[in-house]
Amino acid sequence: MMRRVAILISGRGSNMTALIEAAAADGFPAEIALVISNKADAPGLATAQANGVKTLVIESKPFGKDRAGFEKLLQAALDEHKIELICLGGFMRLFTAEFVRHWYGRMLNIHPSLLPSFPGLDPHGQALRAGVKISGATVHFVIPETDAGPIVMQGAVPVADDDTADTLAARVLGIEHKIYPQALRLLANGGVQIVGEATRSSPGVCSDDNLIAPSVI
């Protein structure tokens, strides 16, 4: 039975598009049942609608700092549509600890760095200033701390000597679009388990499925 997934966006939702396209394939164990944006002008809403996915806008701005009030409406929508899993796709709104705990183990986020390195803002600039030779992206379970939580999957890309934050971001975005659907597949199939503060592959699942890395010659 396919798991019902909601994707939460605030902008163009490029990772949302990758998830929708992957879920349309035969045999994918999850259905993108709903896309919710906290901004009515998010370009990703039109993309989702063009792909036949139901969309909903729950404006967060009127709630100001009242995160719990916003989440009450959000949770009601998730319940109404019988959502089982959440994927954050550039959702620019912090959650309360209570909401995160309610969805623990069922809510994924993607961050454009190899966590725990370079969390927060400007991860590509952080990577370039540190002089790393490999960067990438991480899909992780959401916890109250920002850009933390048990890691589900990572993808790595090489860093070129002449990279800028923009060129590195474009290369990392390509790997994001590969690993996010695979991470959702793993979660929907029951292929990943949380053990303590980390994840482990479920019995019968190859741990190699948790990493996409560039070839080193």
- 58-66 long-range Cβ contacts below 8 angstroms, 24+ apart: 60/93
Three-class DSSP category at 101: helix
Query: How do 30-37 and 55-57 pair as beta strands?
Result: parallel
Give the three-state DSSP class for 163. coil
The catalytic residue among 111, 124, 140, 177 is 111
Residue 16: which region, alpha, beta or left (left: phi > 0; alpha: psi -120 to 50)?
Answer: alpha
Max Cα–Cα distance, the chain, nearest Å:
53
Q: Is 102 annotated in the active site?
A: no
Q: How many CB atoms lie within 10 A of CB 152?
A: 24
Of the candidates 20, 136, 6, 11, the one whose C-alpha atom is nearest the C-alpha of residue 75 is 6
Active site residues: 111
